[in-house]
Amino acid sequence: MDRDFPEINLPPENPSEIEAWRNELVDWRKAKRQAMKYDHSAYNKPEYDWVSSCYSCNMLMAWDETFLDHRTGNYRVDEYLHEGAVQFGGYDAVVLWQAYPRMGFDRRNQFDYYRELPGGLDGLRKMVEQFHRHHVRVFFDYNPWDTGTRREVKSDALAIADIVAATDIDGIFLDTMNRGGIDMRNAVDKARAGVAFESEAALPLDGLALNHLSWAQWFDYGQAPGLLRNRWIEQRHMMHSIRRWDVDHTDELHLAWMNGSGILVWENIFGSWVGWSHENRALLHQMLPIQRHFTRFFSQGTWTPLIRTEAPGVYASTWDLDGAQLVTVTNRTDKAIAGHWINLPRSAGARIIDLISGEPFEVKSHELAPKAIAALLLLPPGGTSAELASYRGRRKLETEKKLTSRLLHPLPVSHAVKAQHRQIPFSVVTVPAGEHEISTHFRVRECGERGYAHLTDSTYPGLHQDVQERRQFKLGKFEFMTQEVTNEEFHEFLSQSGYQPKVKDSFLRHWGGKNPPPEIAKQPVVYVDLNDARAFAKWAGMRLPSEAEWQVAFEMHGLTQSQHPVWNWTDTEYSDGRTRYCLIKGGSWFEAKGSGWYADGGLKQANFAAKFIQIWPGLDRCETLGFRLARDV
């Protein structure tokens, strides 16, 4: 048999053809392993034992307000994991996502975003230690398309290895890639043993030896859950099912359940919120304890996919190990199915345990709810199972914990600078009061525009295209600065007010000292965050304009950017309790080239707005972002 199967192999619709399909799979696996001279030694190394039980992986945005306190720089690891246990049954790993979709507003590269998070790499190492104390593994992200920002003095593979060595992370998530190569593998292995690679795109079979995990993203699940090819070749290879824009994850959960594989829990999608339903969370809560406690069955047992069942729409697979048999069952229909939906041959005295309830199983009295799962353990006469005893003990402990949500919510912002009403002779234009119809343009991105992105599949027909938002509202009369606040004006503010930001990371980095170099005195001040700009405005007796006021003033008076153009902060700031962002205007002198994944760069028309996700003051202060002021009249 010389043909390859696709990444997911859908079974025939006719039940009478299933056995032949299954036999073909067995023959294909044997022939394919021989043809490719499959070497499974990478999975025999004890430092990778954790991979086969990494069932629940969470995509964690570094800026998530329930994880990172941007006012103190504290990582709320304990609280975040507690919430994950309450909502999803806990995580086995997290992917700490750092740069996209922010990267590209300035020259900082993907590695800078890790280095400049609170505490730097040492702070990240301590954060990773906190995850490890909870037995949770940590992946960092690698973006191969990041070629248009600041370049490292060494290769990406060596830069990744340096970060691995400094932080003790457990894995590298390979964004947009279908595999990691030998150069990266060798470099990372020298830095730390047991660091696993996980590909986003479908992993080819010849990548199994170097990549211990991969995504099953946007696979065609079919009515009968298909077979994951890479799991079939190597059962210790972990795959995480994901359709990140779907609001119903039942198909992903059923696929993982029938393949003994994992799931990706992802709600904060680059700043767009796509929450899981209560039903999906409850289903994952049922799956994870069984997968974790019986992982030897899924990774080492004899797997028989899609055995015969007695009811249409009910599917089951078996996993045999040490004389016991584990059965995973799914009801793919929208109807409850009463008894006799499965017939499991067993000898006299054999026992069947319902692993979800922990009680003996009787098919006649067991109803499968719509879209439900079941898990059965068959024990031979007089047989016992160490996994069963451990599982029952763990279930009792988790029931007694009575977990409750203790999600931390962000606190209100306060500004400590008193208004001085300093009369700096700014050049201003006046916008009269009146009704205004504004057409604002955005580039469609996964973080969304003013609100959330709403993308339905992997083709992204509208991604990166221009969209228009029309609004009509009333503005009061106001004055608007024709140019940005300059470095020398900001220096006067510091001298007169004594202002010092609570977090000083990257504050006025371009000055190189207490005073701005003379050659940039008249240029727009940059490396200031939104709170720095608000503090200056309050001191000057003014305020930041909204993005609508900024646009109206520019269009009404034909204003232009300065000779050294930079993005402008506005007072149009939002937070949903997970992601803070501000709409910025104007564009800048810098534009990252080489990939559409970068944030917006270059000069922009007055009607263009960009969504700037706020992470941490040290990263929010950019060389391309300044501000100008407005004042009510």
At residue 385, the pLDDT reads: 58
> Whole-prediction pTM value?
0.93
Mean pLDDT of the chain: 92
Alpha carbons 586 and 606: distance in angstroms, whole number: 6
Alpha carbons 577 and 573: distance in angstroms, whole number: 12
pLDDT band at 394 (very low <50, low <70, confident <90, very high): low
pLDDT band at 366 (very low <50, low <70, confident <90, very high): confident
The string of pLDDT tens digits covering residues 157-167 is: 999 999 999 99
Q: Which of 4-13, 49-58, 379-388 has the highest mean pLDDT?
A: 49-58
pLDDT band at 422 (very low <50, low <70, confident <90, very high): low
At residue 70, the pLDDT reads: 95
Q: Which of 289, 331, 325 is nearest to 310 (CA)?
A: 331
At residue 350, the pLDDT reads: 85
At residue 339, the pLDDT reads: 81
At residue 391, the pLDDT reads: 56
| CB contact at 8 A, 550 and 583 | no
At residue 415, the pLDDT reads: 35
The residues near 409 (Cβ < 8 Å, ≥ 6 apart) are 65, 66, 577
If you average pLDDT over residues 46-65, what whole number do you get? 98
Q: Which two tokens stand for residue 558?
A: 């034909």
Q: Which of 96-110, 130-144, 339-353, 382-396 has the lowest mean pLDDT?
A: 382-396
Give the number of other Cβ atoms within 10 Å of residue 287's Cβ.
23
Alpha carbons 253 and 49: distance in angstroms, whole number: 23
Q: Which of 232-246, 302-316, 393-407, 421-435 has the lowest mean pLDDT?
A: 393-407
pLDDT band at 407 (very low <50, low <70, confident <90, very high): very low
At residue 221, the pLDDT reads: 85
Three-state SS at 623? coil
pLDDT value at 383 more than 60: yes
Q: Which secondary-structure segment (H or E) carries 111?
A: helix 110-115
pLDDT value at 1 more than 90: no
Q: Which secondary-structure segment (H or E) carries 256?
A: helix 250-259
DSSP letter at 443?
Answer: E
Pairing of strands 137-142, 171-174: parallel
Strands (E), 446-601: 466-475, 478-481, 567-568, 573-575, 580-585
If you average pLDDT over residues 40-49, what whole number do you get? 96
Beta bridge partners of 603: 587
The string of pLDDT tens digits covering residues 545-585 is: 999 999 999 999 999 998 999 999 999 999 999 999 999 99
If you average pLDDT over residues 400-415, what whole number do you get? 36
If you average pLDDT over residues 425-451, what whole number do you get? 94
Strands of the 359-360 sheet, one edge to the other: 302-307, 314-321, 324-331, 373-379, 351-354, 359-360
The string of pLDDT tens digits covering residues 224-268 is: 999 999 999 999 999 999 999 999 999 999 999 999 999 999 999
pLDDT band at 405 (very low <50, low <70, confident <90, very high): very low
The string of pLDDT tens digits covering residues 445-495 is: 999 999 999 776 545 557 888 999 999 989 999 999 999 999 999 999 999
Tell me the percentage of the chain whose pLDDT exceeds 90: 85
Alpha carbons 132 and 63: distance in angstroms, whole number: 20
If you average pLDDT over residues 530-540, what whole number do you get? 98
Q: Which two tokens stand for residue 34?
A: 């021989």
Q: Which two tokens stand for residue 454?
A: 């709403």
Alpha carbons 428 and 609: distance in angstroms, whole number: 22
pLDDT value at 39 more than 60: yes
At residue 458, the pLDDT reads: 46
